[in-house]
């Protein structure tokens, strides 16, 4: 039997699935790169904006906080508005944030546009994976996810390398502008190739979202503060403990919450 085919003779990876995988990876790899690519530019950003490292550290931290906070809402958004619409809208929002970051004239503007980037980027990966899972089906899901995962795992590794090269050869602004041509290509391919997905009425679980998103954000905030050397005060530890408590409360709450009733 051909290793690349299922028992029925159907290819494990059809042309449609490979094409969707390319589109999803193009969009998702930028969001992973932006979690690390900016780290090598922090000293340069601090000098250009005349601010302290403690302030400029918010540039990577706020991106991760926004990124992680919106992930729990991605399933609801994909059901309510359709996965294709959410993925394309999230990519467009991420590109708008990237453009704003590159054009920022102050550290406050840069941090604000990093929030926009993080909100868009946090939706891209889970919604893209949902689109791929729907197209692949249960028999091919493992193969598809393993192929998609390889370039995404390389993102954190090559991010600092690319960031260092761009800062040395051009300007720190190019660590954000570099997203624009890649994202424009992904957006054009998505508008052309991504299949339309069904929408259905879905009720947002607000208590669950507050517990999970808030817990993740609080924990990451405390972890980021400790990572930057802020170990003298109690706030980072309190934030991490509070975040873990909120996630634990979500784990207790989720099985006990009533299933959402479809709207009529």
- What CATH number is associated with residue 170? 1.20.1250.20
Q: Are residues 207 and 106 in the same domain?
A: no
The DSSP result for 124-148, as a single string, is HHHHHHHHHHHHH-TTTHHHHHHHH
Torsion angle (degrees, nearest 10) of CA 192, 146, 39, 127 = 40
Residue 242 lies in a domain: yes
pLDDT of 153 higher than 80: no
Q: What whole-number percentage of the chain has pLDDT above 70?
A: 89
Q: Are residues 55 and 109 in the same domain?
A: yes
129 vs 127: CA distance, rounded Å: 5
Q: Are residues 72 and 172 in the same domain?
A: yes
256 vs 164: CA distance, rounded Å: 49
130 vs 90: CA distance, rounded Å: 14
- The phi and psi torsions of 144 (rounded to 5 degrees) equal -65, -45
Is 123:146 a contact under the CB 8 Å cutoff?
Answer: no
Q: How many domains does the chain have?
A: 2
Q: Are residues 163 and 249 in the same domain?
A: no
Q: Are residues 36 and 143 in the same domain?
A: yes
Residue 224 lies in a domain: yes
CB atoms inside a 10 Å sphere around CB 10: 10
Residue 112 lies in a domain: yes
Q: Are residues 161 and 223 in the same domain?
A: no
Q: Are residues 194 and 223 in the same domain?
A: no
End position of a domain, from candidates 198, 219, 251: 198
Q: Are residues 210 and 131 in the same domain?
A: no
- Evaluated on CA atoms 32, 163, 226, 238, the torsion sign reads negative
Domain hosting residue 252, numbered range: 203-264
Residue 27 lies in a domain: yes
Q: Are residues 166 and 194 in the same domain?
A: yes
pLDDT of 2 higher than 50: no
pLDDT of 263 higher than 50: no
Pairs from 138-146 (Cβ < 8 Å, separation ≥ 24): 139/6, 140/6, 140/12, 140/13, 140/17, 143/12, 143/13, 144/13, 144/17, 144/21
pLDDT at 229: 63
Q: Which of 9-18, 110-119, 134-143, 242-251 bottoms out in mean pLDDT, i.e. has the lowest?
A: 9-18
User: For residue 32, which of 174, 152, 189, 147 has the smallest C-alpha distance?
Assistant: 152
End position of a domain, from candidates 163, 181, 198: 198
End position of a domain, from candidates 198, 231, 247: 198
Residue 170 lies in a domain: yes
């Amino acid at each position: 039997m051909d290793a690349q085919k299922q028992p029925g003779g159907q290819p494990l990876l059809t042309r449609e699935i490979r094409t969707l995988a390319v589109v999803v990876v193009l969009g998702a790899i930028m969001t992973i790169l932006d979690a690390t690519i900016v780290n090598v530019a922090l000293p340069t950003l601090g000098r250009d904006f005349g601010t302290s490292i403690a302030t400029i550290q918010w540039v990577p931290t706020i991106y991760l906080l926004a990124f992680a906070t919106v992930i729990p809402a991605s399933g609801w958004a994909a059901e309510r508005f359709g996965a294709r619409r959410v993925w394309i809208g999230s990519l467009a929002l991420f590109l708008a944030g990237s453009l704003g970051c590159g054009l920022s004239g102050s550290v406050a503007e840069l941090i604000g546009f990093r929030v926009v980037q993080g909100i868009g980027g946090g939706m891209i990966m889970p919604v893209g994976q949902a689109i791929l899972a729907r197209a692949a089906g249960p028999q091919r899901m493992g193969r598809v996810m393993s192929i998609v995962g390889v370039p995404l795992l390389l993102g954190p590794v090559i991010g600092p390398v690319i960031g260092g090269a761009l800062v040395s050869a051009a300007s720190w602004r190019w660590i954000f502008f570099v997203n624009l041509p890649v994202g424009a290509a992904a957006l054009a391919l998505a508008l052309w190739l991504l299949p339309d997905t069904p929408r259905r009425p879905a009720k947002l679980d607000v208590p669950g979202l507050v517990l999970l998103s808030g817990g993740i954000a609080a924990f990451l905030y405390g972890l980021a503060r400790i990572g930057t050397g802020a170990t003298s005060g109690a706030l980072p530890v309190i934030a991490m403990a509070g975040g873990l408590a909120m996630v634990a409360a979500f784990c207790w709450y989720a099985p006990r919450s009533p299933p959402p009733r479809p709207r009529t």
